[in-house]
Structure 1
């Protein structure tokens, strides 16, 4: 990383069922100044997102019980109901096919990142997206 804390003052809900991936992503985001709340499944992620109204949600698509599509639908419904600006939402998945990317965007994610996520590119994407959200 470049020493500049590009995600300072940014609250991120990170939803990832793989413990090592969750921990490494959280460390990368925290190193950039973000406040990260990590969740292991969609239900935990929804609870965190609804209570925190985060700037960003980074969510794995393939989660146990309920998938990331369920999470983003619930989040978007709550944002509309409460009149909040939509959180920047990033789908993160091992699926490489175009159908998953298109479905992710159609369901309410803004961005689609394939695993393994390049830390530098993910941080740049999030920083740019949060800056654009602030301007909008």
Structure 2
């Protein structure tokens, strides 16, 4: 009998402007059973969010144009049926305590510093989903 994949059945939206990091996140999470939609910008994410209704959102902070802080504030202003309450992870190179506080105040549930190991990423996503969906 094959062990269950920790993220089996989860739909995850990844918002990351760096192609290599977006590929890394997608590869790691798909290997653990998640279905991923990965987009390179906040505007692209807002287009797919209402239809996708992801179980978890992973978003970079330092994106050109619209940063992750602005993006998550706009998401939190949406109604729940439009994705406004999606559990959200800030995955960012901005990693001091002020950045963490700013991310949480903007509306992210957790702040994770890059680089992140594959195992840590899977654990963070699984734990966030479990804590927000009991």
TM-score where L is the length of structure 2? 0.91
The one-character-per-residue Cα deviations of 1:18-39 (angstroms, maximum 9, x if unpaired) are: 1011001100011111110001
Q: 1:84 to 1:43 in 2, by over 3 A?
A: closer
Task: Look up the match of 2:105.
Answer: 106
2:56 counterpart residue number: 56
Q: Shift in Å at residue 51 of structure 1?
A: 2.3
Q: What's 2:66 paired with?
A: 66
Runs of 4+ that moved beyond 2 A: 82-85
In structure 2, the CA distance between the partners of 1:84 and 1:72, relative to structure 1 (3 Å rule), is: closer
- Work out the CA distance in 1 between the residues paired with 2:9 and 2:111: 23
**Is residue 68 of structure 2 the alignment partner of residue 89 of structure 1?**
no
Distance between the aligned counterparts of 1:66 and 1:85, measured in 2?
18
Partner residue of 1:124?
123
Q: Please state whether the residue corresponding to 2:79 is helix, strand or coil.
A: helix
Q: Secondary structure of the residue that 1:44 maps to in structure 2?
A: helix
Query: Secondary structure of 1:12's partner?
Result: strand
Deviation at 1:74?
A: 1.5
Number of aligned residue pairs = 132
Alignment of 1:25-64 (within 5 A): 25-64=25-64
Instruction: For 1:50 and 1:65, locate their aligned partners in 2 and report how far apart those are by CA, in whole Å.
Output: 21
| Residue 79 of structure 1, CA deviation | 3.2
- TM-score of the pair, normalised by structure 1: 0.90
Distance 1:94 1:85, change over 3 A: closer
Shift of 1:91: 0.3
Q: Is the 8 A contact 2:78 2:84 kept in 1?
A: no
